[in-house]
Amino acid sequence: LIPDLIYTQNISAKWLRDNEVSLDVLRLDEMHPIVSGNKWFKLKYYLQQAIDEGKNTVATFGGAYSNHIIATAYACKEAGLKSIGFIRGEPAEKLSSTLYQAEKSGMQLIYVSREKYTQKQQIIDEYSKENWYIINEGGYGILGAKGAAEILDYVAENDYTHILASVGTATMLAGLVMGAEQHQQIIGISSMKGNTSLEQAVKDLLSQTKTYPSYSILHNYHFGGYAKHPKALIAFITETWRQFQLPLDIVYTSKLFFAIIDLVNKNYFLPGSKLLMIHSGGLQGNNSLPQNPLALS
Protein backbone atom coordinates (compact mmCIF):
# COMPACT_ATOMS: atom_id res chain seq x y z
CA LEU A 1 0.00 0.00 0.00
CA ILE A 2 2.13 2.82 -1.25
CA PRO A 3 0.76 6.38 -1.38
CA ASP A 4 3.78 7.19 -3.58
CA LEU A 5 1.84 5.65 -6.43
CA ILE A 6 -0.71 8.49 -6.37
CA TYR A 7 -0.63 10.89 -9.31
CA THR A 8 -2.91 13.38 -11.03
CA GLN A 9 -4.30 12.73 -14.48
CA ASN A 10 -5.19 15.68 -16.66
CA ILE A 11 -8.42 15.36 -18.61
CA SER A 12 -8.44 16.93 -22.01
CA ALA A 13 -11.85 17.35 -23.59
CA LYS A 14 -13.84 19.75 -25.72
CA TRP A 15 -16.46 20.35 -23.02
CA LEU A 16 -13.67 21.60 -20.75
CA ARG A 17 -12.01 23.78 -23.39
CA ASP A 18 -15.32 25.28 -24.50
CA ASN A 19 -16.04 26.37 -20.94
CA GLU A 20 -12.44 27.41 -20.15
CA VAL A 21 -12.26 25.04 -17.22
CA SER A 22 -9.45 22.59 -16.45
CA LEU A 23 -9.81 19.21 -14.75
CA ASP A 24 -7.28 16.98 -13.03
CA VAL A 25 -8.10 13.66 -11.38
CA LEU A 26 -6.27 12.59 -8.24
CA ARG A 27 -5.85 8.88 -8.81
CA LEU A 28 -6.10 7.38 -5.34
CA ASP A 29 -7.41 4.24 -7.04
CA GLU A 30 -3.86 3.53 -8.20
CA MET A 31 -2.56 2.99 -4.66
CA HIS A 32 -3.67 -0.61 -4.57
CA PRO A 33 -5.83 -2.86 -6.77
CA ILE A 34 -8.12 -3.92 -3.91
CA VAL A 35 -7.93 -1.36 -1.13
CA SER A 36 -9.57 1.72 -2.56
CA GLY A 37 -7.75 4.95 -1.98
CA ASN A 38 -9.91 6.91 0.40
CA LYS A 39 -10.44 3.89 2.65
CA TRP A 40 -6.74 3.61 3.33
CA PHE A 41 -6.66 7.24 4.48
CA LYS A 42 -9.83 6.85 6.52
CA LEU A 43 -8.59 3.74 8.32
CA LYS A 44 -5.14 5.01 9.17
CA TYR A 45 -5.86 6.70 12.51
CA TYR A 46 -8.42 4.13 13.65
CA LEU A 47 -5.86 1.34 13.32
CA GLN A 48 -3.26 3.50 15.00
CA GLN A 49 -5.60 4.03 17.92
CA ALA A 50 -6.46 0.33 18.09
CA ILE A 51 -2.78 -0.52 18.35
CA ASP A 52 -2.12 2.28 20.87
CA GLU A 53 -4.95 0.98 23.04
CA GLY A 54 -3.50 -2.52 22.91
CA LYS A 55 -6.44 -4.02 21.00
CA ASN A 56 -5.79 -7.09 18.87
CA THR A 57 -9.02 -7.25 16.87
CA VAL A 58 -10.86 -4.70 14.75
CA ALA A 59 -14.57 -5.19 14.08
CA THR A 60 -16.67 -3.23 11.64
CA PHE A 61 -19.84 -3.31 9.53
CA GLY A 62 -20.72 -3.45 5.86
CA GLY A 63 -22.61 -5.02 2.98
CA ALA A 64 -21.50 -7.81 0.66
CA TYR A 65 -19.85 -5.40 -1.80
CA SER A 66 -18.46 -2.93 0.70
CA ASN A 67 -15.19 -1.21 -0.14
CA HIS A 68 -14.83 -0.46 3.55
CA ILE A 69 -15.04 -4.15 4.53
CA ILE A 70 -12.39 -5.28 2.10
CA ALA A 71 -10.12 -2.35 2.93
CA THR A 72 -10.44 -3.00 6.66
CA ALA A 73 -9.64 -6.69 6.16
CA TYR A 74 -6.55 -5.92 4.16
CA ALA A 75 -5.30 -3.00 6.27
CA CYS A 76 -5.72 -5.02 9.48
CA LYS A 77 -3.74 -7.88 8.03
CA GLU A 78 -0.96 -5.43 7.15
CA ALA A 79 -1.08 -3.92 10.66
CA GLY A 80 -1.00 -7.32 12.36
CA LEU A 81 -4.55 -7.03 13.70
CA LYS A 82 -7.34 -9.59 13.50
CA SER A 83 -10.48 -8.38 11.76
CA ILE A 84 -14.15 -9.18 12.00
CA GLY A 85 -16.80 -8.01 9.57
CA PHE A 86 -20.47 -7.89 10.50
CA ILE A 87 -22.08 -8.40 7.13
CA ARG A 88 -25.59 -7.18 6.39
CA GLY A 89 -28.01 -9.91 5.30
CA GLU A 90 -27.88 -13.66 4.82
CA PRO A 91 -24.86 -15.40 3.29
CA ALA A 92 -25.31 -15.71 -0.48
CA GLU A 93 -24.94 -19.06 -2.20
CA LYS A 94 -21.81 -17.78 -3.85
CA LEU A 95 -19.55 -15.46 -1.90
CA SER A 96 -19.22 -12.00 -3.48
CA SER A 97 -15.79 -11.18 -4.82
CA THR A 98 -15.52 -8.54 -2.06
CA LEU A 99 -16.22 -10.97 0.76
CA TYR A 100 -14.05 -13.63 -0.81
CA GLN A 101 -11.09 -11.22 -0.83
CA ALA A 102 -11.90 -10.06 2.71
CA GLU A 103 -11.86 -13.65 3.96
CA LYS A 104 -8.64 -14.26 2.09
CA SER A 105 -7.14 -11.35 4.03
CA GLY A 106 -8.11 -13.14 7.23
CA MET A 107 -11.34 -11.36 8.08
CA GLN A 108 -13.89 -13.41 9.99
CA LEU A 109 -17.35 -12.77 8.55
CA ILE A 110 -20.41 -12.74 10.79
CA TYR A 111 -23.73 -12.39 8.98
CA VAL A 112 -26.50 -10.47 10.66
CA SER A 113 -30.08 -10.17 9.42
CA ARG A 114 -31.04 -6.89 7.79
CA GLU A 115 -33.31 -6.15 10.70
CA LYS A 116 -30.66 -6.78 13.33
CA TYR A 117 -28.08 -4.90 11.27
CA THR A 118 -29.85 -1.63 11.99
CA GLN A 119 -29.23 -2.16 15.71
CA LYS A 120 -25.46 -1.81 15.70
CA GLN A 121 -25.08 -1.21 19.41
CA GLN A 122 -26.98 -4.42 20.12
CA ILE A 123 -24.62 -6.36 17.87
CA ILE A 124 -21.62 -4.83 19.62
CA ASP A 125 -23.08 -5.64 23.04
CA GLU A 126 -23.72 -9.21 22.01
CA TYR A 127 -20.38 -10.04 20.38
CA SER A 128 -17.75 -7.55 21.38
CA LYS A 129 -14.88 -8.53 23.62
CA GLU A 130 -12.58 -6.34 25.64
CA ASN A 131 -9.72 -6.50 23.17
CA TRP A 132 -11.88 -5.43 20.23
CA TYR A 133 -11.74 -2.05 18.54
CA ILE A 134 -14.96 -1.08 16.76
CA ILE A 135 -15.00 1.03 13.60
CA ASN A 136 -18.29 2.52 12.40
CA GLU A 137 -19.87 1.36 9.18
CA GLY A 138 -18.08 3.05 6.28
CA GLY A 139 -15.42 4.36 8.67
CA TYR A 140 -17.56 7.34 9.65
CA GLY A 141 -15.97 9.41 12.39
CA ILE A 142 -13.52 12.11 13.36
CA LEU A 143 -10.42 9.94 13.05
CA GLY A 144 -11.59 8.90 9.60
CA ALA A 145 -11.90 12.54 8.58
CA LYS A 146 -8.49 13.30 10.09
CA GLY A 147 -6.97 10.64 7.84
CA ALA A 148 -8.87 11.88 4.79
CA ALA A 149 -7.59 15.39 5.47
CA GLU A 150 -4.17 14.11 4.38
CA ILE A 151 -5.39 13.19 0.89
CA LEU A 152 -4.60 16.66 -0.42
CA ASP A 153 -0.99 16.33 0.76
CA TYR A 154 -0.55 14.04 -2.22
CA VAL A 155 -1.43 16.70 -4.76
CA ALA A 156 1.76 17.93 -6.37
CA GLU A 157 0.61 21.49 -6.87
CA ASN A 158 -2.61 22.36 -5.09
CA ASP A 159 -3.68 25.46 -6.98
CA TYR A 160 -7.21 24.26 -7.65
CA THR A 161 -10.27 26.43 -7.21
CA HIS A 162 -12.66 23.50 -6.68
CA ILE A 163 -12.25 20.04 -5.20
CA LEU A 164 -14.90 17.49 -6.11
CA ALA A 165 -15.46 14.15 -4.40
CA SER A 166 -18.16 11.54 -4.01
CA VAL A 167 -20.03 11.16 -0.76
CA GLY A 168 -21.10 8.08 1.16
CA THR A 169 -20.85 8.69 4.90
CA ALA A 170 -19.35 12.17 4.20
CA THR A 171 -16.23 11.35 6.23
CA MET A 172 -13.94 11.99 3.26
CA LEU A 173 -15.76 15.23 2.46
CA ALA A 174 -15.25 16.47 6.02
CA GLY A 175 -11.57 15.54 5.74
CA LEU A 176 -11.20 17.42 2.47
CA VAL A 177 -12.82 20.48 4.04
CA MET A 178 -10.33 20.19 6.90
CA GLY A 179 -7.37 19.79 4.55
CA ALA A 180 -8.25 22.32 1.84
CA GLU A 181 -7.09 25.90 1.47
CA GLN A 182 -9.41 28.63 2.67
CA HIS A 183 -10.12 29.92 -0.87
CA GLN A 184 -10.99 26.50 -2.28
CA GLN A 185 -14.52 25.26 -2.70
CA ILE A 186 -15.30 21.63 -1.90
CA ILE A 187 -18.21 19.96 -3.65
CA GLY A 188 -19.54 16.55 -2.67
CA ILE A 189 -21.69 14.44 -4.97
CA SER A 190 -23.97 12.17 -2.98
CA SER A 191 -24.33 8.60 -4.21
CA MET A 192 -27.57 8.28 -2.32
CA LYS A 193 -31.07 9.39 -3.10
CA GLY A 194 -32.26 12.19 -0.85
CA ASN A 195 -29.96 11.56 2.10
CA THR A 196 -30.24 15.04 3.51
CA SER A 197 -28.74 14.01 6.85
CA LEU A 198 -25.34 14.21 5.16
CA GLU A 199 -25.04 17.95 5.75
CA GLN A 200 -25.33 17.38 9.49
CA ALA A 201 -22.99 14.39 9.26
CA VAL A 202 -20.26 16.69 7.88
CA LYS A 203 -20.91 19.36 10.50
CA ASP A 204 -20.60 16.83 13.28
CA LEU A 205 -17.07 15.98 12.17
CA LEU A 206 -15.89 19.59 11.92
CA SER A 207 -14.76 21.77 14.77
CA GLN A 208 -17.26 24.46 15.76
CA THR A 209 -14.56 26.98 16.52
CA LYS A 210 -12.61 26.87 13.25
CA THR A 211 -13.38 28.57 9.98
CA TYR A 212 -13.32 26.28 6.99
CA PRO A 213 -13.42 26.69 3.24
CA SER A 214 -16.94 26.62 1.85
CA TYR A 215 -18.45 23.29 0.87
CA SER A 216 -21.69 21.88 -0.45
CA ILE A 217 -23.29 18.54 -1.25
CA LEU A 218 -25.28 17.98 -4.44
CA HIS A 219 -28.05 15.40 -4.27
CA ASN A 220 -29.21 15.10 -7.87
CA TYR A 221 -26.64 12.71 -9.37
CA HIS A 222 -27.60 9.45 -7.63
CA PHE A 223 -28.80 7.54 -10.74
CA GLY A 224 -31.70 6.05 -8.80
CA GLY A 225 -30.04 5.58 -5.45
CA TYR A 226 -27.14 4.02 -3.61
CA ALA A 227 -25.50 1.16 -5.57
CA LYS A 228 -28.10 1.51 -8.34
CA HIS A 229 -26.38 1.19 -11.68
CA PRO A 230 -28.73 1.57 -14.61
CA LYS A 231 -27.55 0.72 -18.13
CA ALA A 232 -26.89 4.40 -18.83
CA LEU A 233 -24.36 4.51 -16.00
CA ILE A 234 -22.61 1.35 -17.16
CA ALA A 235 -22.42 2.76 -20.69
CA PHE A 236 -21.00 5.97 -19.27
CA ILE A 237 -18.27 4.03 -17.44
CA THR A 238 -17.34 2.15 -20.60
CA GLU A 239 -17.28 5.34 -22.65
CA THR A 240 -15.18 7.22 -20.08
CA TRP A 241 -12.66 4.40 -20.05
CA ARG A 242 -12.52 4.42 -23.83
CA GLN A 243 -12.10 8.19 -24.10
CA PHE A 244 -9.86 9.03 -21.16
CA GLN A 245 -8.52 5.70 -19.85
CA LEU A 246 -10.15 6.75 -16.61
CA PRO A 247 -11.60 3.71 -14.81
CA LEU A 248 -14.72 4.46 -12.74
CA ASP A 249 -16.66 2.39 -10.21
CA ILE A 250 -20.41 1.88 -10.30
CA VAL A 251 -21.23 3.24 -6.84
CA TYR A 252 -19.27 6.46 -6.42
CA THR A 253 -16.80 7.79 -8.94
CA SER A 254 -18.95 7.27 -12.05
CA LYS A 255 -21.67 9.48 -10.58
CA LEU A 256 -19.03 12.02 -9.62
CA PHE A 257 -17.47 12.23 -13.07
CA PHE A 258 -20.90 12.40 -14.67
CA ALA A 259 -21.81 15.27 -12.35
CA ILE A 260 -18.62 17.15 -13.23
CA ILE A 261 -19.33 16.99 -16.95
CA ASP A 262 -22.90 18.10 -16.37
CA LEU A 263 -21.91 20.99 -14.09
CA VAL A 264 -19.22 22.18 -16.50
CA ASN A 265 -21.69 22.13 -19.37
CA LYS A 266 -24.23 24.05 -17.28
CA ASN A 267 -21.66 26.80 -16.58
CA TYR A 268 -21.58 26.00 -12.90
CA PHE A 269 -17.91 27.01 -12.80
CA LEU A 270 -16.58 30.39 -13.87
CA PRO A 271 -14.16 30.44 -16.81
CA GLY A 272 -10.64 29.95 -15.49
CA SER A 273 -11.74 27.50 -12.78
CA LYS A 274 -9.33 24.69 -12.01
CA LEU A 275 -11.06 21.53 -10.86
CA LEU A 276 -9.63 18.60 -8.97
CA MET A 277 -11.64 15.40 -8.89
CA ILE A 278 -10.76 12.94 -6.15
CA HIS A 279 -10.82 9.43 -7.57
CA SER A 280 -11.52 7.62 -4.33
CA GLY A 281 -11.09 4.10 -5.71
CA GLY A 282 -13.77 1.44 -5.30
CA LEU A 283 -13.01 -0.34 -8.55
CA GLN A 284 -13.18 -3.75 -6.86
CA GLY A 285 -16.94 -3.21 -6.59
CA ASN A 286 -17.27 -3.54 -10.37
CA ASN A 287 -16.49 -7.23 -9.95
CA SER A 288 -20.02 -7.68 -8.66
CA LEU A 289 -21.36 -7.07 -12.18
CA PRO A 290 -21.87 -9.98 -14.59
CA GLN A 291 -19.46 -8.20 -16.89
CA ASN A 292 -16.98 -5.57 -15.77
CA PRO A 293 -17.56 -2.43 -17.87
CA LEU A 294 -13.81 -1.76 -17.78
CA ALA A 295 -12.97 -5.11 -19.35
CA LEU A 296 -12.83 -3.77 -22.89
CA SER A 297 -10.90 -5.56 -25.55
Ligand X SMILES: *Cc1c(COP(=O)(O)O)cnc(C)c1O
Sign of CA dihedral 175, 229, 279, 257: negative
Footprint of ligand X on 28-57 (CB under 6 A): 36, 38-39
Would you count residue 138 as binding ligand X (CB under 6 A)?
A: yes
Least Å from the CB of residue 276 to ligand X: 15
Instruction: Tell me which of 86, 252, 257, 269 binds ligand X, using CB under 6 A.
Output: 252
**Which residues neighbour 210 within 8 Å (Cβ) at sequence distance 6 or greater?**
none
* Under rule CB under 6 A, residue 281 binds ligand X: yes
Residues 6+ apart with CB under 8 A from 14: none
From the CB of 270, what's the least distance to ligand X, in Å? 27
Query: Closest CB to ligand X belongs to which residue?
Result: 282
Residue 248 as a binder of ligand X (CB under 6 A): the answer is no
Number of C-alpha atoms within 13 angstroms, CB side, residue 55? 24
Distance in angstroms (rounded) separating the CA atoms of residues 192 and 70: 21
Q: Are 68 and 260 in contact (CB under 8 A)?
A: no
Smallest separation, CB 233 to ligand X (Å) = 14
Q: Does 62 bind ligand X (CB under 6 A)?
A: no
If the CB atoms of residues 19 and 26 are measured against ligand X, the closer one turns out to be 26
C-alpha 90/C-alpha 134 separation (Å) is: 22
No. of helices (H) and no. of strands (E), the chain: 11, 10
One of 57, 67, 101, 273 touching ligand X (CB under 6 A): 67
Chain residues in the site for ligand X (CB under 6 A): 36, 38-39, 67-68, 138, 166-173, 249, 252-253, 280-282
